Amino acid sequence: MAQDKDFYMDKIGKQIAGEIAISITPGQIMKKWREIFGLTQVKLSEALNISPSTISDYEGNRRKSPGSTIIKRFVGALVSIDMENGSLVLNKLVGTEVDVQTYYELHEFSTPLAAVDFIKVLEGRVVANEELLNVKKVYGYTLIDSVKAILDMPSSGFPKLFGSIHERAFIFLNVSTGRSPMVVVRVSQTKPSIIVLHNLAKIDELALRIAEREQIPIITTKLPIDKIKEKLNKI
């Protein structure tokens, strides 16, 4: 798929720039996209003509939020470098831009919710790492069709499940044992704050072990999906 830079900036660049601009932790989003494009801090800093330590400061949120000029240069560098390498990442992102959205729904909360309160809203039952709930916060949720995501979603689509912030709940639907969703989370570099397994009577032992290793609380809920969305979307 041979395209020019304007095409990629319109299809992908605007999405990246918007995600950075609205995030309360823009540095995390910049790091996420740098890693999606497979770039080191050194490689990106060379393209931007700045030091690697400056990149590190932005990603660690040690500098003030980047303005529109910095964001535009950052996105432009990601696109240009990938085009020089055959546009492999860009073409994958363009190819999944619409289709991947059939696997999930995103919602960001207007204010963060303590994990213990999140569970109360869902009328959930904690099945792993209950002791971590007092230190976890949830800034949004992603509703995921477990079967479609695991069987059909390309790996390049997984980062999109996190929206604009990583500290969120993944609510997996159509779950049989809980093992497959936890395996996906296990191999991912980025982790959600909480895993919710919908309408699951008994969770797989391996899923519990993965949760213990990754230090992610798991809860189950039998609340109907439409009720979950109704209650959470008010937050």
Ordered domains of the chain (ranges, CATH): 5-96 (1.10.260.40), 99-232 (3.40.1390.20)
**Residue whose tokens read 């800093």:** 45
pLDDT by 10s per residue, the chain, length 235: 456 888 888 888 888 888 888 778 888 889 999 999 999 999 999 999 999 999 999 998 888 888 889 999 999 999 999 999 888 888 878 765 444 456 788 888 888 899 999 999 999 999 999 999 988 999 999 999 888 777 766 666 777 788 878 889 999 998 888 888 888 788 777 889 999 999 988 888 989 999 999 999 999 999 999 999 999 988 8
What is the structure's pLDDT at 98?
A: 42
> The whole model's pTM is what?
0.58
Asked if residue 157 lies in contact with residue 182, where contact means CB atoms within 8 angstroms, the answer is: no
CA–CA separation, 34 vs 56, rounded Å?
Answer: 11
